[in-house]
Amino acid sequence: MSTLTVNSTRDAVSVTGLRKVYRDKVILDAIDLGIGEGQVFGLLGPNGAGKTTMVRILSTLIPPDAGTATVFGHDVRREPGAIRELIGLTGQFSAVDDLLTGEENLLLIGRLLHVPAAERRRRAAELLERFDLVDAAKRTPATYSGGMKRRLDIAMTLMGRPRIIFLDEPTTGLDPRSRHSMWQIIRALAAGGVTILLTTQYLEEADELADRIAVLDHGRIVAQGTPDELKRRLPGAQIVLRFADAASFDSAAQALPESKRDEGQFVLRIPHEGGIHSLREVLSCLDETVAVEDLSIESPDLDDVFFALTGNTQKEQN
Amino acid sequence: MSSPTLAVQDATTMLGRELKHTMRFPLLLVGTILVPVVMLLLFEYILGGPIGNGLGGAAHGAPYVEFLVPGIILLTVAASCGPTAINVRMDMGGGFVDRVRAMAVARGALLAGHVGGSVVRTTLSTVVVIVVALLFGFRPQASVEAWFAVLGIVVAFSFSLAWVSAAIGLTAKSVAGANGLTLPIQFLLPFLSSTFVPAESMPAGVRWFALNQPFTAVVDTLRALLTGGPIGTSAVVAMAWCVAIALAGYVWAQVALGRGIRAT
């Protein structure tokens, strides 16, 4: 299923046969992926799929148990020091220091990067400006909104001018407005030429931002490709009819043999090719005595997309 | 710059962070002053009478407060174990440490910052506790050299206990657990030493333990320095304990740091 991307450009990240086991549980297995330099790569999957473990391995926080992973040609096990010079990590859990002000957080990171004092202050001021945190610079993150905290988090990641940024679920828990502002930030970073590995639970987000997506499920990559390639593998649109009673439901189901039946709710789903003509055809099959309670047209739901790819029947992913 | 220079620079940066934390959240520091002061008042004014009478020659004829205060100083050093373990544990629970670990920051700088911060805090609270003791009638007979020696022992013992506390913070499952695990160091070991009463006065089994554990060697040395009594071998034993505890705590912390990495 998974294939190694062969890129004409140099690979920023190259992973082959990666495996990680924690106690008795296989977290990641047989992972192959490549991220070209300058690419935005989306790692999509539900909670517990192994996204964070993948990020932790690539950012040298934990070693893999088998397989190889390189970042700009440096092996995560043999040359973690060289990798740490090139990466920026914005983890799933807020990586800001809650007792320091926004500005102090940036300056502290600058110090740890051994940036000279004047340059440190210049970069911090520039990032505070860029992420709309000037007014909040002298306050501690305890007073920040979720979106502001994430922005500070990313600003801290950028203090080191990384060549690749790992963004682990950058919008989880954000309100819709902050999410959109985060998307703009990520797009601007990508436009600046930096390589980005983004993990997300939302297909919509991966679709919006990523050049390439890998779908991770139970520690394995179940699909990989451009957003368009993945969407082509999806179920089509459906006409959904709900009926008032069993009699109407049964007669309609007989009239529409191609429909999928949901007996419990008196719901029929009929494949829809799109357009008024196809809709009229379906309706004309229905007797006038049939009591249709509700009609709707469903485009492939983003969740359906995901379930189709992961082969998961359970909708409750949480 | 060479890498040892960078390592020192990183550790200093982390120490600065730790001290800033202490200033922003001084409650933990206040606690490490309050507990010894309460103990001082409790033992001096409530329990001190009969203890002082029973003590007889052990205080060399001086009032009980002269015997007690060196013990209270030791208690102050021990009290900082709680905040140190709590601070380390809180750091490990947050994302900040992961960020630092994914940066080219000298390994060990983070813990060095915590340990350094602990020593600075302990020294500070010890000074405050000594001032309070002076207000309550403590009249030490120490020379300037002896005061420097007291400071040296406070720093050395607090340094060694800080490494143990850091290791406890790294291994504890929760913040509350981190504090709980340091309670034996904060209270049990001081009581089972000559902190409040001479170890010689204890029942046989406990006496052997009390006479041979580090707190007794340290408090005996502090007491001898502050009351002008004979030091004997206790200073050498105390320093040996400091070195041994610091080494054990350091090794334990390194092992815990390597093992404590979360998988997901």
Each domain of chain A, given as residue ranges in start order, spans 11-231, 238-299
Answer whether residue A315 shows pLDDT above 70: no
Chain B positions touching A97 (Cβ under 8 A) are 17, 96
Which tokens hold the place of A81?
């020091």
Answer whether residue A292 shows pLDDT above 70: yes
Note the pLDDT of residue A156.
Answer: 95
**CA of residue B185 relative to chain centroid, distance:** 9
Contact A207, A227 (CB under 8 A): yes
Answer whether residue A316 shows pLDDT above 50: no
Looking at residues A76-80, what average pLDDT do you find?
Answer: 93
| Closest residue to A114, CB basis, from B6, B95, B98 | B6
Domain ranges for chain B, please list them.
3-259
Q: Which of A161, A163, A27, A147 is nearest to A94 (CA)?
A: A147
Question: Which CATH number is associated with domain A238-299?
Answer: 3.30.70
Chain B positions touching A89 (Cβ under 8 A) are 98-99, 102
Note the pLDDT of residue B137.
Answer: 87
Query: What is the least distance, in Å, from the CA of B160 to any CA of chain A?
Result: 26
Q: Which amino acid type is present at position A16?
A: T
Note the pLDDT of residue B258.
Answer: 74
**Can you tell me whether residue B92 is helix, strand or coil?**
helix
Q: Do A93 and B94 touch (CB under 8 A)?
A: yes
- Could you give the count of Cα atoms lying within 13 Å of A235 in the half-sphere of its Cβ? 20
| Closest residue to A95, CB basis, from B99, B105, B262 | B99
Q: Do B103 and A114 touch (CB under 8 A)?
A: no
| Closest residue to B103, CB basis, from A53, A94, A113 | A113
Looking at residues A163-174, what average pLDDT do you find?
Answer: 92
Chain B positions touching A81 (Cβ under 8 A) are 104
Note the pLDDT of residue A234.
Answer: 67
Sheet holding A11-22: strands in order across? A25-36, A11-22, A66-71, A74-75
Interface pTM (ipTM) of the complex?
0.85
Question: Which of residues A126 and A3 earns the better pLDDT score?
Answer: A126
Per-residue model confidence as pLDDT tens digits over B10-33: 999 999 999 999 999 888 889 889
Answer whether residue A19 shows pLDDT above 70: yes
Question: Which of residues B168 and B61 earns the better pLDDT score?
Answer: B168
* Banded model confidence at residue B180, pLDDT cuts 50, 70, 90: very high
Chain A positions touching B260 (Cβ under 8 A) are none
Answer whether residue A3 shows pLDDT above 50: no
Note the pLDDT of residue A20.
Answer: 95
Give the other-Cβ count within 10 Å of B38's Cβ: 10
- Separation CA B79–CA B70 (nearest Å): 14
Note the pLDDT of residue A297.
Answer: 82
Report the mean per-residue pLDDT for chain B.
Answer: 89
Cα separations (Å) of B248 from A154, A259, A282, B253, B261? Answer: 39, 72, 79, 8, 21
Looking at residues A80-86, what average pLDDT do you find?
Answer: 93
Alpha helix ranges (H) inside A192-292: 203-209, 227-231, 246-255, 276-284
Question: Which CATH number is associated with domain A11-231?
Answer: 3.40.50.300
- Separation CA B245–CA B214 (nearest Å): 9
Is B24 within 8 Å of chain A by CB?
A: yes
Note the pLDDT of residue B164.
Answer: 97
Length reported for chain B: 264
Length reported for chain A: 318
Query: What is the least distance, in Å, from the CA of B22 to any CA of chain A?
Result: 9
* Banded model confidence at residue A231, pLDDT cuts 50, 70, 90: confident
Note the pLDDT of residue B52.
Answer: 72
Per-residue model confidence as pLDDT tens digits over B66-84: 889 999 999 999 999 999 9
Question: Which of residues A108 and A256 earns the better pLDDT score?
Answer: A108
Chain B positions touching A20 (Cβ under 8 A) are 263
Report the mean per-residue pLDDT for chain A.
Answer: 87
Helix (H) or strand (E) holding B234: helix B234-259
Per-residue model confidence as pLDDT tens digits over B90-109: 988 888 888 998 998 887 89
The percent of residues above 90 in pLDDT, for chain A, comes to 56
The pTM for the full model equals 0.81
Chain A residue closest in CA terms to B101: A61
Q: Do B103 and A52 touch (CB under 8 A)?
A: no
Looking at residues A69-78, what average pLDDT do you find?
Answer: 94
Answer whether residue A301 shows pLDDT above 70: no
Is B263 within 8 Å of chain A by CB?
A: yes
Q: Do B24 and A140 touch (CB under 8 A)?
A: yes
